Amino acid sequence: MSHLLEVSNLKIWDGGTGDVIVPGSSFHVKPGSCLAIVGESGSGKSVTCKAIMRLNKAGIRQSGDLVFKGENLSRLTEREMRKKRGKQLCMIMQNGMRAFDPSCVVGVHLQETLRRHFGWSKDEITFQMKIAMGSVMLKNPLEVMNKYPHQLSGGMLQRVMIALAIVLEPDLIVADEPTTALDTISQFEVVDQFMQLRERMGCSMIFVSHDLAVVRKISDEVMVMKDGVIVEQGTSQAIFADAKHEYTRYLVSTKQSLHQHFKRVMGGSGVAER
Q: Quick one: pLDDT at residue 9?
A: 97
Is 262 domain-assigned? Answer: no
Mean pLDDT of 6-33: 96
Q: Quick one: pLDDT at residue 272?
A: 46
Q: Quick one: pLDDT at residue 38?
A: 94
Domain residues for the domain of 186 are 5-95+171-242
Q: Which residue has the higher pLDDT, 240 or 184?
A: 240
Backbone torsions φ then ψ of 68, nearest 5 degrees = -115, 115
DSSP 151: G
β-pair type (172-176, 204-208):
parallel
Whether the pLDDT of residue 269 is over 70: the answer is: no
Q: Quick one: pLDDT at residue 94?
A: 77
Is 46 domain-assigned? Answer: yes
Backbone torsions φ then ψ of 42, nearest 5 degrees = 85, 5
Is 150 domain-assigned? Answer: no
Whether the pLDDT of residue 68 is over 70: the answer is: yes
Backbone torsions φ then ψ of 145, nearest 5 degrees = -65, -20
Whether the pLDDT of residue 186 is over 50: the answer is: yes
CA distance linking residue 183 with residue 4, whole number of Å: 33
Is 104 domain-assigned? Answer: no
Q: Quick one: pLDDT at residue 211?
A: 84
**CATH number of 226's domain:** 3.40.50.300
Q: Quick one: pLDDT at residue 223?
A: 97
Verdict on whether the full-model pTM lies above 0.95: no
Whether the pLDDT of residue 261 is over 60: the answer is: no
Is 20 domain-assigned? Answer: yes
pLDDT band at 255 (very low <50, low <70, confident <90, very high): low
**Averaged pLDDT score across all residues of the chain:** 88
Whether the pLDDT of residue 39 is over 80: the answer is: yes
What type of residue is 234?
Answer: G
pLDDT over 70 for what percent of the chain?
92
β-pair type (204-208, 20-29):
unpaired
Counting Cα atoms < 13 Å in the Cβ hemisphere of 121 gives 3
pLDDT band at 239 (very low <50, low <70, confident <90, very high): very high
DSSP 76: S
Is 123 domain-assigned? Answer: no
Whether the pLDDT of residue 260 is over 90: the answer is: no
Closest listed residue to residue 52, CA positions, set 40, 41, 67, 39: 67
What is the domain count for the chain?
A: 1
Is 231 domain-assigned? Answer: yes
pLDDT band at 273 (very low <50, low <70, confident <90, very high): very low
Whether the pLDDT of residue 71 is over 80: the answer is: yes
- The predicted-structure confidence for 116-164, as pLDDT tens digits, reads as follows 999 999 999 999 999 999 888 889 999 999 999 999 988 889 889 989 9
Is 200 domain-assigned? Answer: yes
Q: Quick one: pLDDT at residue 189?
A: 83
